Amino acid sequence: MYLEAIEIVFIQPCLADANKIRFKAVFSRDIAGVLPYLNAVLPNATYNHEGQVLTFVREGRLFTLYPRELAVAKAANTTDAYRLIDWLKDLINATYERRDELKPDYSLRSRPKPLEIYGWLPRTNCRKCGELTCLAFAAKLLLGEQRLERCAPLFTAEYAHLKEPLLEIVAALGL
Ligand code: SF4
């Protein structure tokens, strides 16, 4: 078996939501070689080959993989954490087994620009978030100086179609 084990080394409450947990775990071997293949099979992954870091969101949980360790945020509880690492271990081993059929993807998917985030906002410049414009809000969001929850209109039924994609983007960026 390519990867024998993933061992949790700490669990703490999530910074953004104390009802959820974040945890770190270590791989029983260096998985750097499989990261470009995982990038190829995970459609929503963000990969930096030079920095050897791969992030993606699954079921609302944010995964960050490095060659030797893993960080996960927004897990429901400890049971959920063990379920997630079982799933990830199976994914890594299955991807490694299929590596001859897969094309490794080394592409760097860069962080979105404020205008791209702006495109997912209501774009009414209503100022309810405390910013003069939605574009200013988008720029501060990317800098970690604003929180998505401050855009109240986004959480109304009128903009429900924008909320979910934007929540995924923000989670994938670790914001
Ligand atoms: S609250 Fe939302 S819609 Fe209103 S200005 Fe801020 S980002 Fe734009």
Q: What is the CATH number of the domain that holds 163?
A: 1.10.15.40
CA distances from 12 to 84, 160, 173, 175 (A): 16, 31, 20, 18
Taking the CA of residue 122 as reference, the ligand 1 atom at the shortest distance is: 3
Q: Span 119-125, mean pLDDT?
A: 91
What is the domain-level CATH number for residue 22?
3.30.310.10
- Please tell me the predicted confidence (pLDDT) of residue 174: 61
Find out whether the beta carbon of 138 lies less than 6 Å from any atom of ligand 1: no
Q: Are residues 62 and 25 in the same domain?
A: yes
Classify residue 102 by burial, with Cβ atoms within 10 Å: 0-12, 13-18, 19+. middle
Q: Is there a domain that residue 138 lies in? A: yes
Count of domains for the chain: 2
Say if 135 falls within a structural domain: yes
Amino acid letter at 105?
D
For residue 12, what are the β-bridge partners?
22
For residues 63 and 22, membership in a common domain is answered with: yes
- Spatial separation of the C-alpha atoms in residues 137 and 142, rounded to whole Å: 9
pLDDT of residue 110: 62
Residue 26 tokens read as 């270590």
Report the chain's mean pLDDT, rounded to a whole number.
89
Q: Is the CB of 127 under 6 A from ligand 1?
A: yes
